[in-house]
Amino acid sequence: MAGDRLYEVMIKKAIRLARKAEGRTSPNPMVGAVLFNRDGVIATGYHQQAGQPHAEIVVLRKAGRLSRGASLAVNLEPCCHHGRTGPCTDAIIAAGVKKVIYSIEDPFHMVHGRGARILAAHGIKIIRGVGRDEAVRLNEVYLHYIATGRPFVALKLAQSLDGRIATRTGQSRWISSTEALAFGHRLRAGYDAVAVGSGTVRVDNPKLTVRRAKGPNPLRIVLTASPDLPAKMKVFASENGSRTVVATTRKNIADGAYSFAETWPIRKGPDGLDLDDLLKQAGDKGVTSILFEGGGRLATALLRRKLVNKLYFIVAPTIIGQGVASVGDLGVTALSESVGFKDFGHRKLGTDILFWGYPKR
């Protein structure tokens, strides 16, 4: 197998391995590694959870003396600093690895090309950029958070063909198929936090936990300017270590409206709570990603403010007619002002169609 093709195969394998830890590595990136030589793969591994050994360390420990003279394929530049674990560059050098192939530079300021330079200074051949696009998609949350200090924002909506998320009486369970519901739970498991507005809490009384898939429960965020959400709502019940934050006004907090829950004081904006303030505070608290699940008013506010990084629309093959719209007025007066997408795709989810895309900024 030609060199370039071999490197692509090994990087793809590393990315598949990295995905196994989805939802468990935050605030770290997902990283997989493959150690190989002319005879084939020597060892594979991935970073399983924040605080545990990095992917490079896992494979080097598995391979032992077989690491000497081998090549290492990894989807992110090896780290070169002391955190909760030691520098991967030190271990790679000590193991006698002769070549490192990686997809993208680590933008973290303590690495950012320095890891590759250290390895090259010790005579290790460096090959960059293999599988770059797939590696960027894999760690889009990490890359966004490091670049902006704010969480990566995803918006998920389940709607009918005519853009309704509920009937005119508020009934919304279940517009989506069981396969789509399971997909939604897998999404939750992959994000640090899941957020809804108070209207969704009142009408649907959701738990916002992960039940139809395997994975950790996200931080649950309830956005409300109202002072009277009942403590008995399911979202406030502790379940498998799940935690809930009420993002509300300073006045509500001062008045003790949500003394039964953790609160974040959020400024008020022209259309309710200031979502920019929410994202800044979440980022400052180490929340790297938030999945917003509704409802329509919250979705509209996010889209109007151009705060959505990725959108998931699950469209059911049904027509409701008069009902609750998934998205309200975005202030669009010309088609050129509508929300377009720079990258998008679709696939079936049971009887539904999933549309995903990255809105243009």
Kindly list the catalytic residues.
56
* Phi, psi (rounded to 5 degrees) for 94: -65, -30
Q: Write down the residue that tokens 């002319």 correspond to.
A: 38
DSSP state, 30?
P
Could you tell me which residues are beta bridge partners of residue 34? Answer: 44, 73
47, 30 Cβ separation under 8 angstroms: yes
Q: Residue holding tokens 């992959």?
A: 190
Instruction: Extract long-range pairs of 54-60: CB within 8 Å, 24+ residues apart.
Output: 54/78, 54/79, 54/85, 54/88, 55/14, 55/17, 55/18, 55/31, 56/31, 56/88, 56/91, 56/92, 57/85, 57/88, 57/91, 58/33, 59/33, 59/34, 59/35, 60/35, 60/91, 60/92, 60/95, 60/97
Neighbouring residues of 63: CB distance < 8 A, sequence distance ≥ 6: 35, 42, 43, 70, 95
Question: Nearest CA to 36 among 126, 133, 101?
Answer: 101
Distances in Å between the Cα of 81 and the Cα atoms of 15, 139, 180 are 23, 20, 42
Return the HEC string of 68-127.
CCCEEEEEECCCCCCCCCCCHHHHHHHHCCCEEEEEECCCCCCCCCHHHHHHHHCCCEEE
